[in-house]
Structure 1
Amino acid sequence: MREVVMNKKTNLLQLEEHFYQLADVKEPNVFHNLFPYDEIPKIAFNDRIVPHNMPENIWITDTTFRDGQQSRAPYTTEQIVTIYDYLHRLGGPKGLIRQSEFFLYSKKDRDAVYKCLERGYKFPEVTSWIRASKQDFQLVKDIGLRETGILVSCSDYHIFYKMKMTRREVMNLYLSVIRECLETGISPRCHLEDITRSDIYGFVIPFCVELMKLMDEYKIPIKIRACDTMGYGVNFPGAVIPRSVPGIIYGLTTHAGVPSELIEWHGHNDFYKAVNNSTTAWLYGASGVNCSLFGIGERTGNTPLEAMVFEYAQLKGTLDGMDTTVITELAEYFEKELGYVQPSRTPFVGSNFNVTRAGIHADGLLKNEEIYNIFDTGKFLNRPPLVSVSNTSGLAGIALWINSYYHLPKDKSVDKNSELVKKVKVWVDKQYEDGRVTVLTDKELVEEIEKCCKELNVTIGA
């Protein structure tokens, strides 16, 4: 008979949850009804709604040097240490960028780990990602790391087609590997690869129940990283598992008994949902979301770390000490040191993210920048709103460009009625009447403005 127990979070009586056992199927369940390979994947609904369950404490973890490094040229040791310093500053005094994971296989990677450890930062904690072998466990122990990630693929695509095993064989293999890790005193972080195509109640939940038993036995934390490897997760209420992010997190917390502080969400952006799914994981009970800087990662990339900084602030109503100006410094570092130029319309870091070309928008910005700027980007990102001058900028756009470029205070600023602005606009209009199709460069504008100032006998800012 199922026991009636008190839920300490809701303070309501509830029936003890059903115990889910491994479904050791003979044929793989690859959900071809949802993922027909010769059609677009389907999002189905059963309208089973689970409650919001956001933990009191949520945080970000970083995979820039692991998943992020799998999709680009390897970072040098010096570059890794520099970026790690930036992450420490960005996370602020509360360490909201909680961890950063590293490969350990090359001398370069190990040198970077040692140098980052020498920094002595509490956060981000240096963790590793290894193959499931005794030799690799020993390597983690020798370096002195407390925690390591281990790949435990969980969909039948991987279990049957890649590993050529049954669910029971794979579960027994994983549990033996995790036990070996625990025997060395290392805390395992289990990367449940391809969770959004897995049998949640036939494999994932029973496996995580066994992991929680091992945690009780060894008194060493075991983390669960829910990996949306192919970006199939959706955040829609009532969507069916395994695509439902709320359903997956609910299953882990409620049916598998995994504490929120031991759950991370690792998303990919194949269907443009990485940020929304990561936020959803927070809302439904995961404390951690795993990200990479600028979303650099496999295929379409991971959840962008900088995006989750601002998601955190919107959910919590505070940045809790995170220094968002570091995001701009990081973008500049990536461009100058690594030659990585952000796509121009990328939120928060692209060259045009807060630049307007439309004259009507520029007129609004000139009157009050709150009208067309998402927040005080000058304060939070050291990037005040700008305009690009073209045939659509109008008098207001030119005035705003001059004020921004020359950093003119309000009492020295020009407006669209300024003779200087009107004269420059005549020149701008002539450029496009003569067939120009590109935006005017800063150099061209400065030269023309200086010429007009001489003709009008005026000085900017005087």
Structure 2
Amino acid sequence: MKYFVSPYNDSVDLKFPKDITIYDTTMRDGEQTPGVCLRPSEKLQIARKLDELGIHQIEAGFPIVSEEEQRAVKGIVDEDLDAQIICLSRTKKEDIDVALDCDVDGIITFMATSDLHLKHKFNMTREEVLNMCMGAVEYAKDHGVFVAFSAEDATRTDLNVLKDTYKRAEEYGVDRIHIADTVGALSPQGAEYLVREIRKEIKTGIAMHCHNDFGLAVANTISGFLGGANAASTTVNGIGERAGNTSLEELVMSLRIIYGLDLGFNIKHFYELSRLVEKLTGVSVPDNKAIVGRNVFRHESGIHVDAVIEEPLTYEPFLPELIGHHRKIVLGKHSGCRAVKAKLDACGIEVTNDELCKIVDQVKKSREKGKYINDELFNEIVRSVRSMADL
């Protein structure tokens, strides 16, 4: 048994779309994390690892930004990966032309639709904005590529306006519409309602693009699926502007283990992918980050350790090996005899019961003095206890 979750999950009748597409935007929206700048060679490393994972689509960048960005996107395209390579463009012919020059498989074009954005960003009427959007969709479709239209700040846009916008995009031949929860202002219940309402009007694909300002990006994405969406954008480690985006590893693992929906990814690559993105972006993964955080499979509490040594699933929802992670028993203030004995056994050290109790006592006291119990200090404690026993 590799995982064990609540039996109550099966008591709820949930219907997900048959085919779900995950497109990863680590190298576009993720790179918009303040301070992050990925070179073409670094983007290529991430793209290769995403492809090993089995990601469906890779949003490789925003080509109009710079010549180096264009080289990065073209380099990923030339790698001939299994994943479709898509990119972002504004609703401008010059943006689309640059994207097409990179030979991408598809384009996501976008425009804000909320009154708030229209008032403060554009000196245009809503009809003028709509015409510009549809012109971009039509121009890109004429070149035979996959085209998605994203309504920026969709979740703060009047519903009738949003429905009309997406219906018109569908009429112009768009392959997928994107619901952008630009500032993470949606609730899971609101996400399901919104998608159901839009699904009444259109038949084309619907993607969730959620931000994590309130920590609800993954939940909103899943609720969107339950409402009828069949695609979602993600980033590795959930990086992105402000609080980040929907976390790729959290979404995939939640769907697989909690909801029983296997998207077919090679999940053994998750931990390695997480560390690669952490290294290349310089954005540290919090120790308590779900799925890939360093503490997810680390145990210190004596009660927990005793149980984990006997059966890991007592305090782990799934085995770390599933995602290429690893378990670690940490010694500290809360450690008991069994944890210390396990450490001694791993080091090939035999002690008496009396020595074991003294070592446990010294471990606790050392940690309470602010010392981290690394291998060096642990060996020092063992030597000290043994030398005292020899006197």
Q: Aligning the two structures, in what range does the TM-score lie when normalised by the shorter sequence? A: 0.7 to 0.9
User: Where do 1:288-437 residues align within 5 Å?
Assistant: 288-314=231-257, 317=260, 319=262, 321-377=264-320, 379-402=321-344, 421-431=356-366, 436-437=369-370
Q: 2:335, 2:364 within 8 Å by CA — same for their partners in 1?
A: no
Query: Residues 401 and 318 (structure 1 numbering): CA distance in 2 closer, same or farther, change over 3 Å?
Result: farther
**Cα deviations across residues 130-186 of structure 1 (Å, max 9, x unaligned)?**
122222222222222231111121111112332133332322232223223333334
Q: Counterparts of 1:301 and 1:168 in 2: how far apart (Å)?
A: 32
More helix by share: 2
1:43-100 deviations in whole A, cap 9, x for unaligned? xxxxxxxx96521011311111111111132111111101111101112xxxx43333
How far, CA to CA, are the matches of 2:282 and 2:137 in structure 1? 40
Show the counterpart of 1:29: none
Q: Take 1:453 and 1:376, find their aligned partners in 2: how far apart are those partners?
A: 36
* SS at 2:183 equivalent: coil
Partner of 1:252: 198
Identity, % of aligned positions: 24
Per the TM alignment, residue 335 of structure 1 is displaced from its structure 2 partner at its CA by: 4.5
Trace 1:31-110 onto structure 2 (pairs within 5 A). Answer: 54-71=16-33, 72-91=35-54, 96-105=55-64, 106-110=66-70
Deviation of the 1:453 alpha carbon: 7.2
- Runs ≥4 in structure 1, deviation > 6 angstroms? 453-457
Q: Return the offset for 1:369.
A: 1.6
Structure 2 residue runs without a partner (length 5+): 1-12
| 1:233 equivalent in structure 2 | 186
Which deviations, in whole Å up to 9, do the C-alpha atoms of 1:265-284 show, x marking residues without a partner?
Answer: 00011111011011111122
Select which of 282, 286, 289 maps to 2:225. 282
Deviation for aligned residue 1:248: 1.4
| Equivalent position amino acid for 1:247 in 2 | Y
Q: Is the 8 A contact 2:333 2:365 kept in 1?
A: no
Cα distance between partner residues in 2 of 1:339 and 1:450: 39
Q: Decide whether the 8 Å contact of 1:208 with 1:258 is kept in 2.
A: no
Mark the CA change 1:402 to 1:283 in structure 2 (over 3 Å): closer, same or farther: farther
CA distance in structure 2 between the partners assigned to 1:450 and 1:88 by the alignment? 49
Cα RMSD, aligned residues only: 2.7
In the aligned structure 2, how far is the partner of 1:422 from the partner of 1:396?
A: 10
Cα deviation 1:352-383 (Å, max 9, x = unaligned): 12212222112221222221112111x21333
Moved more, 352-361 or 225-234: 352-361
The answer on whether the counterparts of 1:390 and 1:428 sit within 8 Å (CA) in structure 2 is: yes
SS at match of 1:61: strand
SS of 2:325's partner is coil
Distance across 2 between alignment mates of 1:317 and 1:52: 11
Task: Quote the offset at 1:419 in angstroms.
Answer: 5.7
1:134 to 64, 84, 93: 93
Relative to 1, partners in 2 of residues 1:118 and 1:354: Cα closer, same or farther, differing over 3 Å?
Answer: same
Maintained 8 Å contact 1:61/1:291: yes
2:163 aligns to what?
205
Which of 127, 152, 159 lines up with 1:168 in the alignment? Answer: 127
Whole-Å Cα distance in 1 between the matches of residues 371 and 221 of structure 2? 38
Structure 2 distance, partners of 1:332, 1:454, is 41
Code of the aligned partner of 2:163: I
Which secondary structure does the structure 2 equivalent of 1:171 belong to?
helix
Q: Describe the SS at the equivalent of 1:152.
A: strand
Q: How many residues align?
A: 376
User: What's the secondary structure of 1:425's corresponding residue?
Assistant: helix
Amino acid at match of 2:157: S
How far apart, CA to CA, are the structure 2 residues paired with 1:271 and 1:172? 34
Shift of 1:247: 1.6
Cα deviation, residue 388, structure 1? 2.0
Which whole-Å CA distance do the structure 2 matches of 1:273 and 1:418 have between them?
50
